[in-house]
Amino acid sequence: MTMKRGVLFIAVILSFAFNSMQSNMIVIYGSDSCDHCIDLKTDLDSAKIEYSFHDVELNKEKEKEMIAVLNKYRSDGYVTFPLVEINGKKLINGATLKSIKVALKKD
């Protein structure tokens, strides 16, 4: 019985690790009233690329999170929506589908 639990535990860990390696985390900070944000979400949906979108005009906590992300990358504070963070490693100011695809290939 213990052997089966150990094998199951290892299988779960490997599955989690594999899924983590296969997926990219794309976080978009913007506004639902921003035409560029709307276009990017449409393009990402069409390309079947998963992402999280945060409207920083409606959600002040996400606005604070966005400011923390800007500080993390030592940004000069200049923001062009959509602002996109990829895998917690890259920041794209004024992102497009093309710039995201390029960043994902380099990651």
Domain residue ranges in the chain: 24-106
Q: What is the pLDDT of residues 23-55, one digit of tens each?
A: 789 999 999 999 999 999 999 999 999 999 999
Average pLDDT for the chain: 85
Strands 52-55 and 83-86: unpaired
Among 3.40.30.10, 3.90.1150.30, 3.40.50.261, 3.40.1280.10, name the CATH number for the domain at 24-106. 3.40.30.10
**Core vs surface per residue 14-32: b (16+ CB within 10 A) or e:** eeeeeeeeeeeebbbbbbe
* Distance between start and end Cα atoms, the chain: 42
3-state secondary structure labels for all residues of 47-64:
CCCCCEEEECCCCHHHHH
